[in-house]
Amino acid sequence: MIKKLAIVAALGIAFAICAGTASAQDWFKTGTGLGVTKARVAVPEFAIRAATPPALEKTFHDVLWADLDYCGILELVSPSFYPTQVPSQPSEVKFADWASAPANTYMLAYGNLSVEGTNLAAAGYLSDVHNPTAPIALQKVYRGPATDDGARKLAHQFADDIVGRLSGGAAGIAQTQIAFVSNKSGNKEIWAMDYDGGNQHQLTHLKSISLTPRWSPDATRVAFTCYVPFRGITSPQICIYSAASDRLISFPRYRGSNSSPAWSPDGSQLAFMSSQGGDPEIFISDANGGSMKKVTFAPGVNTSPAFNPKTGKQIVFVSDRAGDPVLYLANSDGTDVQKLDMPDMGYVVDPSWSPNGQLLAFSWRRPSGNFDIYIMDIVNRQLVELTRDAGRNERPSWAPDGRHIVFESTRNGKRQIWSMLADGSMPRQLTFEGQNESPSWSTK
Amino acid sequence: MQVRGSRQITFALGFMAVLGFLGGCKKQVAGSRPSSAPPPSSAQPTVSLNASPTSVKSGDTVTLSWTSTDATDADIEPGVGKVALQGSTPVNPTDSTTYTITATGPGGSATATARVTVGAAPAAAPPPTSNNQSMSELFEQNVKDAFFDFNKSDLRTDAREALTRTAEFLRSYPQVRVTIEGHCDDRGSTEYNIGLGERRAQAAKNYLISLGITADRMDTVSWGKERPFCTEQTEACWQENRRAHFVAAH
């Protein structure tokens, strides 16, 4: 039967460590993560120097706190346990005060903010308070415009550096982007936002229907499904948006319905669905449309391709060739097709491959229920259910750290974008206006 | 040119094989964490209801037939009441009626519906085409959409009947070209529904080809779940959105 323990081990880093924190996670605590300690970090407010407006310090602190709290590998020490004297630079740290009760912290992230003209400088430090003689773990000055948005960016940079140090080198995700579909402008267009929902901005202005965005691996382009004219008929086609030029890059248009583009891990190819030859099948072409090859050959719907991001040699896709739509694996030349059997009937769609190529996230509509997000270990086929009893939960997309998943949910009524840790904990709503769907987490 | 009479069949559908979605969303205690394997529970009942024929004159007899699984009680409204867990019964509707069967069991309940359209006696053939009746009016009167079951692109009997009428019209007006749009209800994957809508449009196209309409008069396109005809979360509304819709091409 479905077991969760092995897959938690496969997830590797973070999830086990989360066990002790959030309440109501009794399903998860059982026997997992034994002996794993989550690093405790104290994050006092930065000292204000020069003429730094307190509002900027508040933004910086709030964003830094949220980034570290949500990173999945740290436990933040409550400020009520902090010593009264907070350091602004390494020479002021009283190590014993932080290392002992009640703070009992291992690491201390601190520093100071100063404004010079229109520029904001954040001097950030990370010290191991149990090793006063060890070299400081991190010290860096971050510079940007003295604006609210600038303060957010500096906090994200500092948070990513801290996470990088404390996770053994795996980069943080505080500077990543999420592309999504929003109808806020009156039409479904492609939008992008920071990973925490900040800085939402519209990328496309096609004024028709744009769907299913996916970031290129270098995060410079977004491939998506666009409704545009072809031979006098408005039909779904493949479009590519370039962030560098803020315009669309040309891609061939075909008869029938074309949708769901997905990038190969080196960015040189796209897999997509096309009914140009009749049945909706999966094709793979160069990113400019050249050298197109059909890779599925079964009657029915074949769609939602995704390359294994680790190898690029395997794809997962959705097919209803055997009845309900379910997931299949195949080599990227179309050979060696394998059905991913599930322990129960239902409708399995929206596959998303974890960055290490070991796990698939997808949405599964079981016969008696709602759409929920699951992950499957593709080697041993073990499953973990991440959402339940909270609206329809669909279209998961992995963060590049392999510890977070973004998805769409109707749990609060309208369809909105949410993220969570990849064990299902810490769900957090990222969009609130209009209807928002189909998130894609950038790979860097 | 003579065109066959058209009763205004707004919506003559056999709601077949409608699974019990309405009863399928039982909430558990809010805030409880998901487990990796759901606890065993009684199976959710399923039920289907079929009406034959789906389109009659007032007073004609219609046969309702139904099957269910995992149910202990079944009830058909309006006007029938408690029934066996599977069986059939004649009804004589005087107005268009949507019959709803509710199957209840230890695992919850499920409903299915079947619509019977009651029309006046067939009208006499309409007057010959005059300048007063534009091509778009004729198209609207004679070209009928085909409706589908959830997650399916197979042509039901009612869809074949509608497409047969459409084929007659297209044979009568060989200059007319059509775009066949495939549509889906709003449940499920955006991407899969684009594929499914295309399959529905192609199912309609292939049936028309089998009736002698040439392929080059028909284009297909899928709108997935993006252009619903109806936006309520009810089976009747979902059914209305699962269709192959005909648009005259210019």
Tens-place pLDDT, residues A168-206 = 877 899 999 999 999 999 999 999 999 999 999 999 999
B59 falls in which pLDDT band (50, 70, 90)? low
Cα separation, A153 vs B208, whole angstroms: 59
A398 falls in which pLDDT band (50, 70, 90)? very high
A386 falls in which pLDDT band (50, 70, 90)? very high
Q: Which residue has the higher pLDDT, A7 or A291?
A: A291
Mean pLDDT of B217-234: 93
- Residue pair B27/B12 in contact by the 8 Å Cβ criterion: no
Tens-place pLDDT, residues A294-338 = 999 999 999 999 999 999 999 999 999 999 999 999 999 999 999
> B109 — contact with chain A (CB < 8 Å)?
no
Question: With an 8 Å Cβ cutoff, are B188 and A371 in contact?
Answer: yes
- List the single residue in B with minimal CA-CA distance to A375: B36
Cα separation, B64 vs B52, whole angstroms: 7
Per DSSP, the three-state class of A182 is strand
Question: With an 8 Å Cβ cutoff, are B35 and A385 in contact?
Answer: yes
Cα separation, A24 vs B94, whole angstroms: 56
Testing the interface with B: which of A2, A212, A275 to mutate, by most B Cβ within 10 A? A275
Cα separation, A349 vs A373, whole angstroms: 10
> How far does B236 lie from chain A, in Å, by closest CA?
19
Phi/psi of residue A13, nearest 5 degrees: -90, -70
Phi/psi of residue A257, nearest 5 degrees: -110, 135
pLDDT of residue B132: 55
- Comparing CB atoms, the residue among A325, A371, A387 nearest residue B34 is A387
A51, pLDDT greater than 90: no
Tell which residue, A223, A270, A271, A231, has the closest CA to residue A249: A223
- Residue pair B93/B101 in contact by the 8 Å Cβ criterion: no
Q: How far is CA A293 from CA A263, A332, B146, in A?
A: 15, 10, 33
User: CA B124, B126, B131: angle at the middle one, nearest 5?
Assistant: 165
Mean pLDDT of A48-74: 94
How high is the ipTM of this complex? Answer: 0.88
Q: Kindly state the helix (H) or strand (E) to which residue B189 belongs, with its residue range.
A: none
pLDDT of residue B63: 79
Question: With an 8 Å Cβ cutoff, are A349 and B194 in contact?
Answer: no
Question: With an 8 Å Cβ cutoff, are A350 and B189 in contact?
Answer: yes
pLDDT of residue B130: 53
Cα separation, B245 vs A189, whole angstroms: 25
Task: State which of A298-307, B3-12, B65-74 shows the largest mean pLDDT.
Answer: A298-307
Q: Where are the alpha helices (DSSP H) in A43-92?
A: 54-69
Question: With an 8 Å Cβ cutoff, are A257 and B221 in contact?
Answer: yes
Q: Buried b vs exposed e over B215-231: b needs ≥16 C-beta within 10 Å?
A: eebbbbbbbbbbebeee
Q: What is the DSSP string of A146-193?
A: SSHHHHHHHHHHHHHHHHHHHTTTPPPSTT-EEEEEE-TTSSBEEEEE
Tens-place pLDDT, residues A68-85 = 999 999 999 999 999 999
- Could you count the other beta carbons within 10 Å of the beta carbon of residue A195? 24
User: Hey, what are A169's tokens?
Assistant: 């080198």
Tens-place pLDDT, residues B150-177 = 989 999 999 999 999 999 999 999 999 9
pLDDT of residue A28: 30
- Comparing CB atoms, the residue among A27, A303, A304 nearest residue B33 is A27
> How far does B117 lie from chain A, in Å, by closest CA?
31
- Residue pair A263/A214 in contact by the 8 Å Cβ criterion: yes
In words, the CATH class of domain B46-119 is: mainly beta
pLDDT of residue A2: 43
pLDDT of residue A24: 31
pLDDT of residue B101: 84
- Comparing CB atoms, the residue among A2, A280, A395 nearest residue B36 is A2
Tokens 């053994």 belong to: A168
Helix pair angle (A54-69, A148-166), 10° resolution: 30
> B108 — contact with chain A (CB < 8 Å)?
yes
Which of A21-30, A225-234, A277-286 comes out lowest in average pLDDT?
Answer: A21-30
Given the candidates 2.60.120.1570, 3.40.50.720, 3.40.50.2300, 3.30.1330.60, the CATH classification of the domain at B135-249 is 3.30.1330.60
User: Hey, what are B114's tokens?
Assistant: 């079947």
| Averaged pLDDT score across all residues of chain A | 90
A29 falls in which pLDDT band (50, 70, 90)? very low
User: CA B18, A348, B148: angle at the middle one, nearest 5?
Assistant: 30
- Comparing CB atoms, the residue among B32, B43, B192 nearest residue A318 is B192
Mean pLDDT of B55-71: 78
Which of A131-135, A148-152, A416-420, B1-5 comes out lowest in average pLDDT?
Answer: B1-5
> B42 — contact with chain A (CB < 8 Å)?
no
> B231 — contact with chain A (CB < 8 Å)?
no
Tell which residue, A81, A111, A115, has the closest CA to residue A98: A81
Kind of pairing, strands A39-42 and A107-116?
Answer: parallel
**Hey, what amino acid is at B49?**
L
Task: State which of A141-150, A363-372, B31-40 shows the largest mean pLDDT.
Answer: A141-150
> How far does B197 lie from chain A, in Å, by closest CA?
9
Kind of pairing, strands A359-365 and A347-353?
Answer: antiparallel
**Residue numbers in B near A370 (CB within 8 A):** 24-25
- Residue pair A206/A189 in contact by the 8 Å Cβ criterion: yes
Q: What percent of chain B has pLDDT over 90?
A: 39
Chain A to chain B, count of Cβ pairs less than 8 Å apart? 150
Q: Where are the alpha helices (DSSP H) in B127-181?
A: 135-142, 157-172
Tens-place pLDDT, residues B90-145 = 787 777 777 788 888 887 778 887 877 776 543 444 445 555 568 888 898 899 89
Question: With an 8 Å Cβ cutoff, are B194 and A236 in contact?
Answer: yes
- Answer positive or negative: Cα dihedral of A9, A14, A20, A24: negative
Question: With an 8 Å Cβ cutoff, are A389 and B222 in contact?
Answer: no
Question: With an 8 Å Cβ cutoff, are A368 and B44 in contact?
Answer: yes
Q: Kindly state the helix (H) or strand (E) to which residue B17 belongs, with its residue range.
A: none
> How far does A130 lie from chain B, in Å, by closest CA?
36
> How far does A378 lie from chain B, in Å, by closest CA?
16
pLDDT of residue B89: 80
Tell which residue, B167, B157, B184, B172, has the closest CA to residue B12: B157
Domain with CATH 2.60.40.10 in chain B: 46-119
- Could you count the other beta carbons within 10 Å of the beta carbon of residue B80? 15
Domain with CATH 3.30.1330.60 in chain B: 135-249
